[in-house]
Structure 1
Amino acid sequence: MLNLKKTALAVLALGSSAVFAGTMGPVCTPGNVTVPCPATGWNIGGQALILQTMTDNDISLDIASTPTGVAINTELDAQWNWGFQIEGSYHFNTGNDITLTWYHLDTGWNNTEFAPAFDPETLIGFGHKNRWDAVNGEFGQFVDFSA
């Protein structure tokens, strides 16, 4: 019985939010096409991203000291790293907007050491670091073609 009361209370709480929801703002309707009324405004936002670089591949090293027919292969481990995305947009006129977005990732060093099978006394080490930046610029126009 207690679960039924909790469920009924949850349904009422969620259902009542629709009663208080506002209506759609004013729109300008030239003909059959609906566009927002002229307005200006700014939006800014950002997100923290956890990204995995896809460098999880086998690496072959060409080293002059290897015996003929012997290849040195090792595997790099993919890393999870924090990055971010920052976005800003300006809205103007009747549904126009310009948006600029920047994605950034800067990984730490992925250092690897191994001893080749043909010469266990030799220790070979190498490392790599990934850096990724992407900037997107977009221009948009909001139009509703429904009649």
Structure 2
Amino acid sequence: TANIAAAVSGGYPVTGGFARSVVNFDAGAETPAAGAFTAVGILFAALLLTPLLHFLPKATLAATIIVAVLSLVDFSILKRTWGYSKVDFTAVSATILLTLGLGVEAGVSAGVLISIFLHLYKTSRPHVAEVGLVPGTQHFRN
């Protein structure tokens, strides 16, 4: 239905989920035709490989998805955030830990609330410059 709505409204067709998009990106896909080829591949896999995949443990299937999505995770942002702002680093770390500990919904919700609180706190206490004339000069200083 999403692709029909995109066709009627002039939008771009939807090609798949996040993990499948990562696989297409890693494979070098550059056109919407990659979605069609992926769909055909999934169709054949569903028809022919389902009896074999039935006995795979869920952990193995989860590991396959993790390997596909891991290329999108950028841990260097933690180092950059630490160097830029310790408070923002704390917010990012709290979001990551809460997501891992309590689940995605609780972690992301907490991250949004922490970010809103930090934004309100920082903007409610702006830097105030009290400018005055330096005695004996024509210069103004804070």
Name the TM-score class by shorter chain: under 0.3
TM-score between both structures, scaled by the size of structure 1 = 0.20
Structure with the higher helix share, 1 or 2: 2
**Larger % of strand: which?**
1
